[in-house]
Amino acid sequence: MACVHYKFASKLNFAIATFDGRHNSLGDLKKQIMGREKLKAAKCDLQITNAQTEEEYTDDNALISKNVSVIVRRIPIGAVKSTSKADAIGRTEPVMGTSMVTDDSSASLFLAQLTKTANLAEANASEEDKIKAMMSQSGHAYGPVN
């Protein structure tokens, strides 16, 4: 009997899924994990990533060799799977209701004004700008002047 060690990202301990042979398909592994964890296939899908190499298995026909440790995450059906963290972070579309600032000098001037704002929650700015201003305000106390 061969096995695959799996754990959900939110859990501490690994569980074991056993199978016959040297390899198991990703689809069969997902079915087995969903059965063991009492998950319904109609409500969610499983994202499976190799725990050592952090390689994400996407093809249901992909073969997973025995004695591999994987990390399992539940994702809603129809969710867009990001191929990398840079795709999610590096987006440049404007937030709804705001406009993109293209001039660097005006952007830095706006950020400088925003960092002097006492209540950023009520400021009329995009969420990204508010976060940048908050990070600047929090690091100001540790500057070379102080």
CATH architecture of 2-76: Roll (3.10)
Q: What DSSP string runs through 64-124?
A: EETT-EEEEEEEETTPPPPS-HHHHHS--PPPTT------HHHHHHHHHHHHT-S-GGGSS
The answer to pTM > 0.75 is no
> Residue 51 pLDDT more than 80?
yes
Spell out the domain ranges in the chain: 2-76, 107-139
**What mean pLDDT value characterizes the chain?**
76
What's the pLDDT score for residue 72? 92
What's the pLDDT score for residue 133? 80
> Residue 139 pLDDT more than 90?
no
Tell me the pLDDT tens digit for each residue of 79-134: 645 444 444 444 444 444 444 444 555 666 677 777 777 777 777 778 888 888 88
